[in-house]
Amino acid sequence: MRRPPLIVDGHCHLASSRCIPSEFFVGVARNMARKQFARERSGEAEKLGRVLELQYHDHDADRLVRKMDEAGIARTVLLAPDFTHVFKSQYSLEDMAAQHAAVRARHPGRFHVFFGVDPRWGRSGYDLFERVVDRHGFEGLKVYPPCGFSPSDERMFPLYEFCAARQLPVLLHTGPTTPTLDFSYADPYLIDAAAKHFPGVNFILAHGGVNFVEQAKLMCNYRANVYLDISGFPAAMSASGWQQHLADLFSQGINHKIIFGTDWPVFSMKDDLAAMVSGLLEETGPMRSLADSTVAAIMAGTIGKLLPSPSVATQASGIGPMFELEGEKP
Ligand SMILES: [Zn+2]
């Protein structure tokens, strides 16, 4: 197996049911139930959803760190999307931020955090994001458009302006998700207006190597500040299998824009982190014809360049937003 000098997982989540609302699991379970039974039996999705939720009890990331060690992953970007505007949530955004900060303190040097704020929270959401960056040193913004907004919605602009000033990357979900959310905001092209307006902000299309791949590839090739990650790759819908799907992606001249990510724990039942990494790096795997320097960039180097330098990320606040902020309280 080829081993790059460093592996950084650019897309991962804390497997904690405190941070992911039940309605998210029920949606995922609805598709599972439909696969299992021709017609969904009443209450089946809710039951399966509860089983799924039981897998999400790694609140302090001890299990995740063990999995990272087995896989040879040095550091991981934890993504904390804001579902609190659309789903009844056990934890508030403040609680979620505190939990992610506690995980970082418990496992020093192992985690980066990209935190999410729904733009409909307006001023108070902006203030909260600024606070968690200042207080906890979080290093990026996670955007979840299927909650019901375009990533180029102008209500996002104050947050992007803040990210530009602090040199924080923005990672946005693309492609389908739980069916309890809205897929119409999942297209990678929806970032175009924001990416054009904020050339100083680097945008990462989460799952861009797996969903809407044609659009994601074009965005990466023609918008200098747009990147994609390959998270979710074991589930790529391709007749030739995920290995060939990725080999094709790696042959398109955009390898400087591609970031490794697992999306653990979403595929933890299907594939483990060590199996995912070795499947990528084995001699006959999808990276077989890439130069060592390209493998190193995909597996760690590119996300490393997009993360803010510590001095920028922890700079004292005082950068006021140019855009008008209105909204509710998170
Ligand atoms: Zn994810």
Choose between 96 and 17: higher pLDDT: 96
Rounded distance, CA 202 to CA 302, Å?
11
Q: How far is the CA of 255 from the centre of ligand 1 (A)?
A: 21
> Residues near 76 by Cβ (< 8 Å), separated by ≥ 6?
8, 9, 12, 64, 68, 110, 111, 112
Query: Is a pLDDT exceeding 90 seen at residue 221?
Result: yes
Q: How far is the CA of 142 from the centre of ligand 1 (A)?
A: 10
pLDDT at position 327, please?
55
pLDDT at position 119, please?
97
Query: Is a pLDDT exceeding 90 seen at residue 316?
Result: no
Q: How far is the CA of 11 from the centre of ligand 1 (A)?
A: 6
Q: How far is the CA of 178 from the centre of ligand 1 (A)?
A: 11
Neighbours of 253 (CB within 10 A): 10
pLDDT digits (tens, 9 = 90+) for 20-30: 888 887 778 78
pLDDT digits (tens, 9 = 90+) for 136-150: 999 999 999 999 999
Task: Find the angle CA(150)-CA(322)-CA(85) to the nearest 5 degrees.
Answer: 40
CATH class label, 8-16+61-313: alpha beta
Q: How far is the CA of 265 from the centre of ligand 1 (A)?
A: 9
Name the 3-class secondary structure at 57: strand
pLDDT at position 133, please?
97
pLDDT at position 114, please?
98
Query: Is a pLDDT exceeding 90 seen at residue 188?
Result: yes
Q: How far is the CA of 263 from the centre of ligand 1 (A)?
A: 5
Task: Please give the model's pTM, rounded to 2 decimal places.
Answer: 0.91
99-130 burial, b at 16+ Cβ within 10 Å, e below that, comes to bbbebbeebeebbbbbbbbbbbbbeebbbbbb
Name the 3-class secondary structure at 264: strand
Residues of the chain with CATH 3.20.20.140: 8-16+61-313
For residue 141, the cross-strand partners are: 115, 170
pLDDT digits (tens, 9 = 90+) for 96-150: 999 999 999 999 999 999 999 999 999 999 999 999 999 999 999 999 999 999 9
Q: Which residues lie at CB < 5 A from ion ligand 1?
A: 263
pLDDT at position 318, please?
37
Query: Is a pLDDT exceeding 90 seen at residue 82?
Result: yes
Q: How far is the CA of 261 from the centre of ligand 1 (A)?
A: 9
Q: pLDDT confidence of 317, banded at 50, 70, 90? A: very low
Q: How far is the CA of 17 from the centre of ligand 1 (A)?
A: 14
Q: pLDDT confidence of 34, banded at 50, 70, 90? A: confident
CA 11 to chain centre: 5
pLDDT digits (tens, 9 = 90+) for 269-312: 566 899 999 999 999 999 999 999 999 999 999 999 999 986 55
Query: Is a pLDDT exceeding 60 seen at residue 324?
Result: no
Rounded distance, CA 119 to CA 143, Å?
9
User: What is the mean predicted confidence (pLDDT) over 156-185?
Assistant: 95
pLDDT at position 134, please?
96
Q: How far is the CA of 324 from the centre of ligand 1 (A)?
A: 30
| Mean pLDDT rounded to a whole number for the chain | 90
Helices (H), 61-117: 62-71, 93-106
Q: Is the dihedral of CA 49, 55, 59, 61 positive or negative?
A: negative
Q: How far is the CA of 13 from the centre of ligand 1 (A)?
A: 6
Name the 3-class secondary structure at 54: helix
For residue 12, the cross-strand partners are: 78, 264
Q: How far is the CA of 19 from the centre of ligand 1 (A)?
A: 13
Rounded distance, CA 211 to CA 110, Å?
28
